[in-house]
Homo-oligomer: A and B are copies of this chain.
Amino acid sequence: MSPTETLAAYVVNDDGSTIPEDVWREAKRAVLNYLGCAMGGSIEPALDVTIETLAPFSGKPAASVLGRRESFDPLHAALLNGIGSHVHEYDDTTPKNYIHPSVPVASALFAYASANNVSGRDFLHAFILGFEVESRIGDAVYPAHYEAGWHITATAGVFGAAAAVGKLLDLSTRQMVWAFGLAATQAAGIREMFGSMAKSFQPGRAAQNGYTAALLGRADYTAGERALEGPRGFAAVTTGEYDLSKVSAGLGVDFSLRDNAYKPYACGLVVHPAIDGCSQLHRKYRPDPEAIAAVRLRVAPLVLDLCNKRDLRRALQSKYSIYHAAAIGLVRGKGGLQEFTEEAVADPALARVRERTTAIADDSVGEDQVGIEVELAGGETLSLFVEQSLGNVHRPLSDEQLEEKFRDQAVLALPPSQVESLIEQCRQLDSLPDAGTLARATIPGAATRAVSAVSS
């Protein structure tokens, strides 16, 4: 069988019984992390603008938009979920292929599940399969595809969304092959858009387009049947170098969810080791910011290439400042959304530490590492070397850390009681009779209303 057929048959025939327990567990963690990002991004202008612009074009508002009071038809909801959950670039990453894998798949699935009855178990199963399809197609074309300028999260993501929704729609293998063809022919998104609202539009559109591909596939809308491997198929057209054996090698045995990483900090990845290490020093010594005389960092050379910003004029710049990274770690012991706001940039304690921080590039320091020396006013020196930064695949966030990250974002959209209730429902996702209740529980005020209904 061809790579396209192999993947289609796998998605169609897998009944979930041989998926290992750790993969199911990781899927729940990925969904929790995804939902937190969707909450955190739900109040962003990119989402406001899209909602306002496309509202007149929405069909029957059968689907919730995560974290919002507005409802849309499920296809639009998929787009909007994707914009909201990616806009802060705080979502997950598989470092092996640079894909942010959950957004295209989960954005489509939550839209589908909020308008159709899907059990929590089936939802997670479809998520695992969609994640796997997307990752394997990404693996096959990475790195040449990404280096050519494709936003691989979107171009591979559209296949993942098609697979996930196609699984729930119960497509035949032939129909899934067509859905993959329709996904291939909508695969788009270029890195030139990075730094603009159009970036988060891309994985949103991938979710919506993959969902559409599954709908049309089920209706026997035909497509070329060599979506991936054809001479004018996805791989050949979008990149010079690819290896489609990666699509099928270990299929059903190796799962990409095991390679998934969650950002602990809401900023550029290369400054994560510094925040991590400085946060460790904060927890251990609680140094008084006023007493910090100097901070000296040894960093991978890439860090100074990308994040050598000292004069911060906009909040966004703080996400790419190694000096700000050290300051928030030492002063606040964390790097959540609140550490990269205008207020944080203006915080005198942070500014003081930033000004006293220097960084030198050191070839012997890896990108997941940092050397830190903090000189205190009394002459004492605190020092630490981070070998593996928190959040990389070798040092994953604990469940508690993931939940803390979730809270940090969700409180921007929801009252605290609703946040806790949402976390609890995420923990139980695999036993929920209807995964759509989770989507509806993200509507601001939803839990509060439920509580008052009970108490009145």
Across-interface contacts of A149 in B (CB, < 8 A): 231-233, 236-237
Whether A56 lies near B49 (C-beta < 8 A) is no
Across-interface contacts of A227 in B (CB, < 8 A): 192
Q: Which stretch of A183-191, A284-292, A306-314 is in the interface?
A: A183-191
Across-interface contacts of A377 in B (CB, < 8 A): none
Across-interface contacts of A216 in B (CB, < 8 A): 49-50, 53, 201
Interface residue A298 (Cβ < 8 Å from any Cβ of B): no
Interface string of A190-232 (1 = CB under 8 A from B): 1111111110011001000000100110111111111100111
Whether A237 lies near B49 (C-beta < 8 A) is no
Interface string of A74-94 (1 = CB under 8 A from B): 111000000000000000000
Interface residue A374 (Cβ < 8 Å from any Cβ of B): no
Known: A73-B56, A149-B236. A181 touches B205 (CB 8 A): no
Across-interface contacts of A224 in B (CB, < 8 A): 190, 192-196, 198
* Alpha-carbon distance between A322 and B197 when the two chains are bound, in angstroms: 52
Whether A193 lies near B215 (C-beta < 8 A) is no
Whether B188 lies near A187 (C-beta < 8 A) is yes
Whether B46 lies near A56 (C-beta < 8 A) is no
Task: With CB as the reference atom, state the residue of chain B lying closest to A151.
Answer: B185
Q: Which of B50, B185, B205 is within 8 Å of A189, CB to CB?
A: B185
* Alpha-carbon distance between A46 and B182 when the two chains are bound, in angstroms: 13
Whether A185 lies near B181 (C-beta < 8 A) is no
Shortest Cβ distance from A46 into chain B, in angstroms?
Answer: 7
Interface residue A406 (Cβ < 8 Å from any Cβ of B): no
Across-interface contacts of A395 in B (CB, < 8 A): none
Q: Which of B46, B188, B194, B230 is within 8 Å of A188, CB to CB?
A: B188
Whether B59 lies near A230 (C-beta < 8 A) is no
Interface residue A394 (Cβ < 8 Å from any Cβ of B): no
Interface residue A323 (Cβ < 8 Å from any Cβ of B): no
* Alpha-carbon distance between A222 and B133 when the two chains are bound, in angstroms: 31
Interface residue A234 (Cβ < 8 Å from any Cβ of B): yes
Shortest Cβ distance from A100 into chain B, in angstroms?
Answer: 16
Interface string of A159-200 (1 = CB under 8 A from B): 000000000000000000010011011111111111111100
* Alpha-carbon distance between A308 and B195 when the two chains are bound, in angstroms: 52
Task: With CB as the reference atom, state the residue of chain B lying closest to A216.
Answer: B53
Within 8 A of B (CB), among A219-257: 219-227, 230-234, 236-237
Task: With CB as the reference atom, state the residue of chain B lying closest to A155.
Answer: B188
Interface residue A451 (Cβ < 8 Å from any Cβ of B): no
Task: With CB as the reference atom, state the residue of chain B lying closest to A211.
Answer: B57
- A192-B231, A198-B224 given. 15 additional CB < 8 A pairs? A53-B216, A53-B221, A149-B231, A181-B193, A184-B193, A185-B190, A190-B237, A192-B232, A192-B233, A192-B234, A194-B224, A194-B232, A196-B222, A198-B221, A201-B216
Q: Give A residues with C-beta under 8 Å from B.
A: 46, 49-50, 52-54, 56-60, 73-76, 148-151, 178, 181-182, 184-198, 201-202, 205, 212, 215-216, 218-227, 230-234, 236-237
Nearest first, the 3 A-B pairs at minimum CB distance are: A149-B232, A198-B223, A149-B237
